[in-house]
Structure 1
Amino acid sequence: MNKTNSLSFPLAELAERLGATLVGDGEQRVTGLATLSDAGPEEISFLANKAYLKHLATTRAAAVLLHPAHAGESPVGTARLELDNPYLAYAQLSRLFDPLAARDSIGIHASAVVADGTTLGRNVEVGPQAVIEEGVTLGDDVVVGPGSVVGAHSVIGAGSRLHANVTVYHGVVIGERAILHSGCAIGGDGFGFAHDGNGWHKIAQLGGVILGNDVEVGSCSSIDRGALGDTVIGDDVKIDSQVQIAHNVQIGDHSALAGCVGIAGSTRVGRHCMLGGGVGLAGHLTLCDGVQVTGMSLVTNSITQPGVYSSGTGAMNNALWRKNAVRFKQLDDIAKRVARLERDNRS
């Protein structure tokens, strides 16, 4: 439950913001969001998954966001905000009650280091021990959290937020309303080396990184700069924690990557794609628009048709897995034997 927010809103205002049909007292004020089972009499909750329908009848919430189909199952005396997509409405309301959104800007902290030749928009916040190098441009309402570093000649668009200890290397371009979580690194060197038979020689990474508008990057994720051209992340791309995106990767608008995804260099991911947790994409591939890859899958060839793709095997008893592993090694021989039998039958 939300215990730190002092904001409150009347239900009539929330219904108007969401385009919902309100059934109940519009003057009733709510001070936060909570689950059906945890909500108190001054909080609003939501029903977006039928698995939680069992909690609806006993909720203590002041009001519930729900689909009209479930209106008859809500408790008597509990207000309803009826609409087609309760989960989306929950997402919209969550931003209203976000304490970060309500706090006042601290301006430029005394311990921050802001180099000469920077361009700062209106209402910019730079936290303690943060560093803004020369030639940086920060748009209006940008927040750079404590200990974060923005490298020389980078550009960060209006309304973007860097949480604590984010590193943005030199020459990176970040669009508007981006959110970068703690520990992520944008613009580090790609993994480029040439081997002479005895050792490795580093290839200077001369490209940059471009992040579109409304991009979110989770904690401890890395997006490498391009070797020559840029690594490009489209608008409204959502990247979870501990994701690795290599040099010169391109990701289309509105795609989403779950935790621990790894994408090798120069691969292109289309628009509206979804990669589950732990997915790996080999280098120099292309995924068309509308591809969904389920968790822990390895993709080694380009995908040209939209749809859902999987690889690997699910967990099973170890003894059974060991037997199956032996069978995997025999598949090629079995296939050849089947082909011979088919030829013999045809003759």
Structure 2
Amino acid sequence: MSSQYYRLEEIAGFVQGQCIGQADLRLQGLASLESAQAHQLAFVNGDKYLAQARSSQAGALIVTASLQAELDNHHHNFIVVDNPYLAFAILTHVFERKHTQRGIESTAQIHPSAIIAESAYIGHYVVIGENCVVGDNTIVQSHCKIDDFVEIGQQCFIDSHVTLTGEAKLGDRVRIHANTVIGSEGFGFAPYQGKWHRIAQLGSVIIGNDVRIGSNCSVDRGALNDTILEDGVIIDNLVQIAHNVKLGAHTAIAAKTAVAGSVTIGKNCIIGGGSAISGHLNITDNVTLTGMSMVTNNISESGKYSSGIGLFENQKWKRTVVRLRQLADVPLTQLVKRLDDMQSQIESLESTFKLRK
């Protein structure tokens, strides 16, 4: 966290909020309602946090106008905004400790044909291959491998031990965290006479602007066409994106998700953690998959989808499994006939009640 102090009025200006209270109050950082001290700022993200806000020791609170009215008797310093959570997100960048170092460390190995912007930073033991490009104000941390013909845009952050290969092209303001591999060989093999014959992957990976990829992820290069991550895609840790996948703009994917080859996922989708998506499927825009969903068919309509069974107490789970197995043994025609019989009985009862009235 930054050690720099900002005045309350100055902070309100960063988020286009209204400053109420002591305009010259000096604040050093952000904290939770529970742990905030007099030199720190906290945010209140709804009525359910009012009790915590009333007892908070924070020097000032980020609130909506209605929340400020509720807290006026307990606190005196506020930044009033329409969306406290968004204001908090903006201010994290104000108080974040910035990487200000620029230049190339002596232990880095850079091919003479590579083009490195003067304002970039290249850390210790980074290896950069032929005809690579690293843009202005981009930071490449220690022990990264940037293979031949890889291009990185401006203001990117490449964390330690990241590998960029497969002639990948990164846009501006891309963040890739530790141990992730971009452009690795896709899982392509042709079966013949009991053996698997490797298919050389000839495509690349194209990453748009403002993309964030967590640590320990793999994004495979395409077999022929490119793997594509459009602008604003965000990916959590431990995610596998296979070859020729296309992720639409501003789609979010949570941890431990696996997306098989040649899947197209639309814009503004949310993929819950632990999900698995079978190959060669199309998922339209604005789809939400809840955690641990298994997708085996195309999704052509926007909405929220789930699969799997939620947690049971163990004995109930065992009984449910037995019933499911029994259900699987009953032919579908018998189930349909039973449902028809039940429907007929319900209709007969309804008619009887109407006659009695």
TM-score, with length taken from structure 1:
0.95
Q: What secondary structure, in the 3-state scheme, does the structure 1 residue paired with 2:279 have?
A: coil
Cα-to-partner distance string for 1:4-27 (whole Å, 9 max, x where unaligned): x22221111221121111111221
State the partner residue of 1:46.
43
Deviation string, structure 1 residues 70-99 (Cα, Å, up to 9, x no partner): 112335443111111111110100011111
State the partner residue of 1:68: 65
Query: How big is the alpha-carbon RMSD for the aligned residues of Structure 1 and Structure 2?
Result: 1.6
Task: Identify the residue that residue 347 of structure 2 maps to in structure 1.
Answer: none
> Any idea what SS the aligned residue of 2:54 has?
coil
SS in structure 2 at match of 1:200: strand
Structure 2 residue 307 is the aligned partner of structure 1 residue 340? no
Match of 1:136 in 2: 132
Distance 1:177 1:344, change over 3 A: closer
- CA distance in 1: counterparts of 2:143 and 2:246, whole angstroms: 29
Residues 10 and 197 of structure 1: CA distance in aligned 2, closer, same or farther (over 3 Å): same
2:24 is matched with which residue?
A: 27
Tell me the residue number matched to 2:351. Answer: none
- Structure 1 distance, partners of 2:91, 2:340, is 66
Alignment of 1:1-347 (within 5 A): 2=1, 5-74=2-71, 76-99=74-97, 101=98, 103-332=99-328, 333=330, 335-341=332-338
Q: Classify 1:182/1:50 alpha carbon distance in 2 versus 1 (closer, same or farther; 3 Å).
A: farther
Unaligned stretches of 5+ in structure 1?
none
Query: 1:64, 1:193 → 2: CA distance?
Result: 58
- Give me the whole-angstrom Cα distance separating, in 2, the residues matched to 1:343 and 1:259: 44
Number of residue equivalences? 341
Worse overlay, 6-15 or 73-82: 73-82
Calculate percent identity across the aligned residue pairs: 36
Deviation per CA, 1:273-311: give whole Å up to 9, x if none.
000110111111111000000000101001011110000
Per-residue CA shift, 1:116-147, capped at 9, x if unaligned?
Answer: 10111231100011111110001100110011
Mapped to 2, the partners of 1:155 and 1:327 lie a distance apart of 56
The question of whether the paired residues in 2 share the 8 Å contact of 1:105 and 1:123 is answered with no
DSSP 3-state at the match of 2:104: coil
Asked whether the equivalents of residues 148 and 167 of structure 1 are also in contact (C-alpha less than 8 Å), the reply is yes
8 Å Cα contact 1:263-1:281 kept in structure 2: yes
Q: Which of the pair has more CA radius of gyration?
A: 2
Q: 1:150, 1:170 within 8 Å by CA — same for their partners in 2?
A: no
